[in-house]
Structure 1
Amino acid sequence: MEIIDLKKMLDKEVEPVCKLEGKLFLRETVKVFDDLLKDSDIINYYTYDIENNKISPVNIGKEKILLDFFQQSEVEGEDGFYYLTVKKQILINEYTLNSVNINTSEITSVFKFEMDTRFNNLLVEKLDVGEFLVFFKQEHQLTFEEFESFETSIESYGYEKAILYNINNGKNFEVEDKAFLRGLRSVFFKTTLKNEECVVYEENYLEPYDKQQIYNEVRRGRKSKKEQFFYRDSLKYLPLKKFISEIEGGYEKLSFVDMEIQGLDGYEFFSGVDKDNIYYEVNKFGKENSDAMIILNKESLEKKTIKLPSECEGDEIISSSDYSWNLDGKYKVIFRKSLISNKQLKVKEIINGNIDYNYEKKLGYPKECINSRYLITSTSREGPNTSIIDMETHKIQTHKKEHIVFDDYLVLF
């Protein structure tokens, strides 16, 4: 394990965004105020060359950055870092998608598009060479009554529209499948399934906790006026070429294939993706010990189930087990945490079974484990604190900083 302490290298508040080809991409968000005392964010980027221990700024100019995203070869098939800027003109909002060269930090304008309405919430995915899909929606702040209402159908989920842009021939096609747009919250990506490039998306409308509350209300006899689709959770895929062809053909129902479906009596929740697998949690309400992590093999689409039972151990002082996981990185872990005293936590790792360790509760909850030796914990009490527990020597380092793990690097910031 190698520790990279960004606070010792840069006198700015930066956040690591991703690690690509031996470099960390760092984001600095600066609050500024205009003449009307309205605050907005300015984003600056830096790269950190791990081998040369060098931080360099990325010259992005002065355009307002609306979002950024990256792609990694293990998931999408290629590495890339992109950001989207928006410039307000009379009656027109001009958006520009830019790419950053990973090796040189050179910026290239990929393509521009215009909208007569200002959309502040966008999702962008690179589908193929020269083809990008952009999702749009207006921000809607729910009132307390809307949020709490069991009766009211809240039409603020999903996206309002999506457009497929072909930057080679200048053509664009609007997505006509409104159910697809309605059900997409945040999970949409390109990856390889069964040796074929596909797009994967998760359809859901509610957080698991909110869904369980409605389920309990319905079981007690209270009728909901929401449409049935509102209770649907599903994970779907569609071959990429077919997806693009159907959008260009104006299909009102894209032919997605379900990999997992849950209704009102349970939930499915996406948890991560890597080179070999897709990870998601499933549970059935009212059914004992039905909570499980599903590992879906991307080549065969076969599913492996890891049970996440809720159980009590020992005497009365021990509470039920609780689970957390990190499945996106090199070292994948599912932690089972048990409180064994007022001051002690017991942690077991249940994918590989390589961790069975007790430590002081004040160090916070387990987040990652590097090389089956270094247990990384964190707590937000009295500001961010990251602790590194060497499970072989039992030595502990604590840093008053946040952290993120990329492969064998622990980055403090």
Structure 2
Amino acid sequence: MITITLSNTGVFVTPNFYCGHMRVRSDFSLRLLLDKIIELGVSDHVRNLVEDSRRHMGDRSPYRGGKTLTDLLRQAIAAAREEDDGDTAERLEDALSYSSGVMLGPDLEIKYQLLSHSREIHGNVLRSTLSSAAIWFGDGARTFLKDKPQASVNDLLTFLDGLRSMEVREHPDAPGTYSAIRGTRETMTWLEETFRDRLRFQPGIGDAVAAATPASASASVEELADAVLLRARRRALDDFRAVVLNRHSSERDLQRALENNIWIFGGTYLTPHGPRRISRGIELDLTLLRPDGTVHVVELKRAAVPILTHQRGRYVPTNEVHRAMTQTINYLVTLDEDRASLTARGIDVRRASATVIIGHPDFEHSASEPEVDEALRIYNSHLSRVEVVTYKQLIDRAAQSLRMVPVVE
């Protein structure tokens, strides 16, 4: 059963799925999280403990849970804490909270991007709920004013105050509230917390959106299409920035966010991107192609990694950067060795180049953003076919290109 109450501070939903004894939750989402914890990098000792949890769960539904699972997770948390690996400990604590029914499924899916388009799916649920609520309250207010045309503003507010607390019923002729499966109740609880604690209303945002779109009376179809595309790209860049700044994002999360937004790299590349397995023995993160068939390799590394260290009083790139750069050079060598077959397919590797994207100033512990930029500028000056950039630099370049697009009045 659930009860919905509307108050000055928001919407409150009281679910019953935490009442009484609740068994340990062990499902596909938890399995994905444990896989991701290993993917993001852990010590051999912690990895063995996490894999013990995975083996206990099994490979397919129904997954095993119980006290054994929570004990294994606690052991892994203790090991990560002992190694001062705070990020891994946090992820494992979230796994334990989720399995214990404390952390909600939508929060877990959004935080760790466990499913494709998790943020978009739950955002649509929130938008749909807000829209339905607005329609419901609007219809109620219109009906009230139609019945009482002489009503004052205070009368209308008093009427709306009476709608704050309501009990949702399954059938008009049956007492009681809706009963729902666990997933539905969990979504309602997530909506309650989102409405109460996380929803921020920004005045004037409708005007800002309207200002970015040319008036239909004076704009051509092409101008309207350009305005829609510009808004879509701004939204896509905001979404990509959110993935970058999430320190739990893996290389695969970053790759998914970029695959459908090749425009972020500039307007000189064809869409869609080229095949990842372009040559024997290698699989590229992204293969960009220019109109003349020239290849540009993109190697993606995590954003939440430090990329600078001190050496003799200077900031220099870390071994993580060197390994990524060397890996990318090896890709270019392989492409060059396979140039005959690639040329026959219309792909030009003689002028192939590459970009390594790694790190973000927000995840640097000691260096500032200007110091990061300067260190990479010096590093890149000694390279010829490979450039190393941060995700911040990539986002800033894309944002600048969007700002340069003229707005149709």
TM over 0.5: no
TM-score normalised by L of structure 2: 0.26
State the TM-score, normalizing by the size of structure 1.
Answer: 0.25
- Structure having the larger proportion of residues in helix: 2
By percentage of residues, which structure has more strand? 1
The structure number with the bigger radius of gyration is 2
